[in-house]
Chains A and B, each alone.
Chain A
């Protein structure tokens, strides 16, 4: 192994050597710089390999030939080597990125860069407190020196403010050091730690000064205006080093120094960390400047790590796994984002839309924000899981809630930013991408995924990057250059194959869901054959969602379940975002979903009492004081996915604005994930009571109200796809209602809804999507009379609405029949009335759908329309066949499930003998119903044909343009505001109260952020005053702890 002292000696020597070179020899100077940084990286990585693979022991490096405390000593261990590698790689990659700038600035800049990296390595390695001070000052000088080299007034101002703040920090640090030395008689950190008791008892202020000075180097919120200015104005490659490497080094310093203070000082770190994490993320909400936003985000992330440092007394051996996961993920992601910002010319967030035409860069961006938020399969995900479990087992619930809230804020602005990039509105200028810069960014992406792999290996929960469905989805990334049709074939084959492979492992419940997800998904994907070109981004996202879904139903422990849940959420988010107008809806989708996921995380953590691999079946044996809370958390999480009323506002936009073949995936398949979760929850936890309230009863009410209001809102929609979307809210309400009945037939009915809703909603979305594709509009009043032009679409919609409305003879009736039987055996009267009421309302919108789109009069501009494309029609016809079969022989799917449900509710099962199905209250004979309805239909239809033979056709202009030209022509159309009388009577029930509530929440947060960020006045002296005030405040607030 190479002596670690060289990590300091070689860069320092090289920096001096650069000073001796002639100014013109820029290439040689640059080569020396790169070689030095490569050497440092190589040494660090060789140590890292030695520690991790050969398990060598940490090494103490003595200087000046004597033992500490008589000389400075360095320590190289596993953690040090990781941090050093992080720092040196950031330096190396940044200097590759900075090639042109460094050539322009010359050898002096390169020398300062080398000193910068050397100083950060020193901070990590040294075990001497004064030496630490020297290295910190060197970092400050190098930082300010590099900023000074720019000829930009903005960054000069920022650099000076930074120096002012650092001066104050260094005064505090020096005073702290000398008094600590005075008390302990040593400068060695470990020596001081050995005398911790003496130091803290005689002079807590001395240690406080040491500690707070190092904390200030972390740029804690709100004493960090100077740092934000640097982030905003410096060269992005430099900000990358500042955010990734300097933060790593400073965190290392704080971690070391806390050894001296002992566990009593950890609450300081926690408190400052929480303030930074939430405050900075809140302020970031109001940012439009990309680099300042990243600065805020860095401050927030460092706050998070500070929180983790504050928990190290309870994290035990997981401490480095958790802290390291978050730290490295943040370093890679933030460095990558800063490097990317160098490619974008303007500084508004919206300017990033310039990247839209570069799928690889989009992928890089996605990887970076997923790293930051801690989505699977990245290190933060494993770390977050472990952290929350430990905190829950120690009862630090409030801390979990604060952390998750901060994380949600971060999700909001990062995903909003991503949405802006993919915005379809304006034509994006194409960015120039110098190859060395792009290569640097891609290496950060590789590093990020590599870290994900390593953390998966270390986690002990199973590496997500080994799961076949996720790998299959990733496989589509390198295949993106292939034509969409070919990829579609692969995708369909993949889904079907996975179903066949897994088939023997499914129990009847899983089988129902798997059938909908895998072959069901393949069926919807048939419609995707319609798309030409490459359709970049569709397949990785869709298959990521399918991977999540198929893992979800097979999950046995909480970790697998949660990982699957987050995967399907992310995949579906990218699918939703593909719609042209989808950006705001996709954002609210991901916020609700991740919010729900965080509740689930908390729920599982509470339930498991610290066991990160908690079997789902153990939900049954959760301690009785916790059980109702776990139930509530999980139920809300699942209901965000089924879009129960209250958390439904994301659904209409997301489903309606999605692409034609995406809407059925979302509505028909994705919604079922929530139902599956509810099944798992109810199977394992059953009925729960909180303060005497039966929680399943609450669910029943939510289901009933969702059904009623969903239907109510659906009838007033002008947009056909929105109508269908609202109808889904109602349908999921029915399913929730059935589940919450907690009896045999209720569950059977919920399962029947799972199947039915998949079939008819996929079909309806496809046919309406097909119509919308042809007519170019989704507004129903712009359509009409399409029956003759698009007969197949008409048939699909007709069959679909018969099935939805639950009239005989189709399977919807079967659902209703089971449903009525179920309610009869339950004793809830009022919600029952509500749900009955919802039924007829569904007729209204379904009638409107078929009447205004296919019947009535044809629009002039639609006279040349053709039937929807073949590939969109094909799955619809298959669905029609399914519905017929399912209507005639519902037992095919349901009999087995009925038997399965008997395990939980042995009574009130159905009797499936012969062609009739018998319950306690009556019987249902699908075949005879079909025959009777058929006869009635044929009779009436022939009668209609007979009386209609001499009817005269009235053209639409006869009525519309009777007098003057109307101001808004659509208002005269009969399909416009179709149910106006009902709206007058019942419209109050569909006031967008929930939407208004969530809008107000968002607005309040934004206003607060916008107002409070004015704290950063821009004045260097004000910043210094804030800094001192922060120090004093922490001192007095922490007085009780000391």
Chain B
């Protein structure tokens, strides 16, 4: 089960990075990066998963005393939350850039932004 998650995660990362490097439309690049981020999040969650265990919610189903042996690693899930929030922040920022670049240059073509070089 976790291997499927991990494989999917890495596939998504690769697809995302490939997209970001080959698509010249800035919006498509941003979407590609979100894909890659999703892949990373999947990998993080997949790493925390332990076969045959349950969600790390301590209630009547999982008493505190048995928690250590019955739940999966809760930490990656906490990390993923933060990673998602940061991902959203960066995506928003990139979109803001896309908007501003479009209003100033009238184009979303990344290959057209080459004034600075060498």
B57 within 8 A of A: no
| A187 closest partner in B (C-beta) | B75
Residues of A within 8 A of B33 (CB): 164, 167
**Interface members, chain B 19-51 (any A CB < 8 Å):** 20-22, 24, 26, 29, 33, 36-37, 40, 43-44, 47
Residues of A within 8 A of B26 (CB): 160
A952 within 8 A of B: no
Chain A interface size range: 35 or more
A157 within 8 A of B: yes
In contact, A1020 and B40 (Cβ under 8 angstroms): no
B61 within 8 A of A: no
**Interface members, chain A 113-172 (any B CB < 8 Å):** 130, 134, 137, 140-141, 144-145, 148, 151, 153-154, 156-161, 163-164, 166-168, 170-171
State in angstroms the CA–CA spacing of A164 and B110 once bound together: 11
Q: Which of B75, B82, B93 sits near A141, CB closer than 8 Å?
A: B93
In contact, A137 and B44 (Cβ under 8 angstroms): no
In contact, B47 and A134 (Cβ under 8 angstroms): no
Residues of A within 8 A of B1 (CB): none
Residues of A within 8 A of B56 (CB): none
B113 within 8 A of A: yes
Residues of B within 8 A of A1024 (CB): 20-21
In contact, B111 and A1021 (Cβ under 8 angstroms): yes
Give chain B nearest CB distance to A358 CB in angstroms: 30
Q: Which of A137, A158, A187 sits near B86, CB closer than 8 Å?
A: A137
A723-731, A754-762, A791-799, A1010-1018: which one contacts chain B? A1010-1018
In contact, A178 and B118 (Cβ under 8 angstroms): no
In contact, B43 and A1019 (Cβ under 8 angstroms): no
Q: Which of B24, B36, B89, B116 sits near A157, CB closer than 8 Å?
A: B116
Given A156-B101, A157-B115, A167-B36, are A178 and B17 also a contact pair (CB < 8 Å)? no
In contact, B75 and A181 (Cβ under 8 angstroms): yes
**Interface members, chain B 74-101 (any A CB < 8 Å):** 75-76, 79, 82-83, 86, 89-90, 93-94, 96-98, 100-101
Residues of B within 8 A of A187 (CB): 75
A233 within 8 A of B: yes
| B89 closest partner in A (C-beta) | A141
Given A154-B115, A156-B100, A1013-B118, are A174 and B44 also a contact pair (CB < 8 Å)? yes
In contact, A161 and B113 (Cβ under 8 angstroms): yes
B65 within 8 A of A: no
> What is the interface of chain A mostly: helix, strand, loop, or mixed?
helix
Give chain A nearest CB distance to B92 CB in angstroms: 9
A175 within 8 A of B: yes
Given A168-B17, A178-B79, are A1018 and B116 also a contact pair (CB < 8 Å)? yes
Give chain A nearest CB distance to B40 CB in angstroms: 5
A661 within 8 A of B: no
Residues of A within 8 A of B94 (CB): 160, 163
Give chain B nearest CB distance to A133 CB in angstroms: 8
Residues of A within 8 A of B86 (CB): 134, 137, 141, 170
In contact, A134 and B82 (Cβ under 8 angstroms): yes
B105 within 8 A of A: yes
| A153 closest partner in B (C-beta) | B104
State in angstroms the CA–CA spacing of A167 and B44 once bound together: 16
**Interface members, chain A 288-312 (any B CB < 8 Å):** 292
Interface centre among B26, B83, B113 (most CB of A within 10 A): B113
State in angstroms the CA–CA spacing of A862 and B20 once bound together: 76
A232 within 8 A of B: yes
Given A163-B90, A167-B36, are A1016 and B118 also a contact pair (CB < 8 Å)? yes
| B32 closest partner in A (C-beta) | A167
A319 within 8 A of B: no
Interface centre among B90, B101, B117 (most CB of A within 10 A): B117
B13 within 8 A of A: yes
State in angstroms the CA–CA spacing of A241 and B22 once bound together: 33
State in angstroms the CA–CA spacing of A140 and B116 once bound together: 20
A996 within 8 A of B: no
Give chain B nearest CB distance to A232 CB in angstroms: 6
Given A141-B90, A181-B76, A1024-B21, are A156 and B47 also a contact pair (CB < 8 Å)? no
Given A157-B113, A158-B116, are A164 and B20 also a contact pair (CB < 8 Å)? yes
State in angstroms the CA–CA spacing of A1021 and B32 once bound together: 13
Given A181-B75, A1024-B20, are A171 and B117 also a contact pair (CB < 8 Å)? no
Given A164-B20, A1024-B20, are A130 and B113 also a contact pair (CB < 8 Å)? no
A927 within 8 A of B: no
| A1027 closest partner in B (C-beta) | B21
State in angstroms the CA–CA spacing of A870 and B53 once bound together: 101
A498 within 8 A of B: no
Give chain A nearest CB distance to B99 CB in angstroms: 10
State in angstroms the CA–CA spacing of A137 and B76 once bound together: 18
A482 within 8 A of B: no
State in angstroms the CA–CA spacing of A134 and B82 once bound together: 8
In contact, A130 and B110 (Cβ under 8 angstroms): no
| A138 closest partner in B (C-beta) | B86
In contact, B115 and A153 (Cβ under 8 angstroms): yes
Residues of A within 8 A of B97 (CB): 144, 148, 156, 159-160, 163
In contact, A174 and B47 (Cβ under 8 angstroms): no
A1025 within 8 A of B: yes
Interface centre among B24, B26, B44, B116 (most CB of A within 10 A): B116
Give chain B nearest CB distance to A242 CB in angstroms: 15
Residues of A within 8 A of B43 (CB): 175, 178
A229 within 8 A of B: yes
Residues of B within 8 A of A396 (CB): none
| A152 closest partner in B (C-beta) | B104
Residues of B within 8 A of A229 (CB): 116-117
In contact, B20 and A167 (Cβ under 8 angstroms): yes
State in angstroms the CA–CA spacing of A46 and B45 once bound together: 43
Give chain A nearest CB distance to B72 CB in angstroms: 13
| A1020 closest partner in B (C-beta) | B110
State in angstroms the CA–CA spacing of A161 and B75 once bound together: 33
Give chain B nearest CB distance to A221 CB in angstroms: 14
Give chain B nearest CB distance to A1023 CB in angstroms: 10
In contact, A140 and B90 (Cβ under 8 angstroms): yes
10 contacting pairs across A/B (C-beta < 8 A): A134-B82, A144-B97, A157-B101, A163-B97, A178-B43, A1016-B118, A1018-B117, A1019-B114, A1025-B21, A1028-B21
Kindly list 11 other residue pairs between chains A and B, CB separation below 8 angstroms, not including A148-B97, A1019-B113, A1028-B17: A130-B79, A137-B90, A141-B90, A148-B93, A157-B115, A160-B101, A167-B33, A181-B47, A1016-B117, A1017-B114, A1019-B114
Identify the 5 closest CB pairs spanning chains A and B, nearest first. A1018-B117, A1018-B114, A157-B113, A229-B116, A137-B86
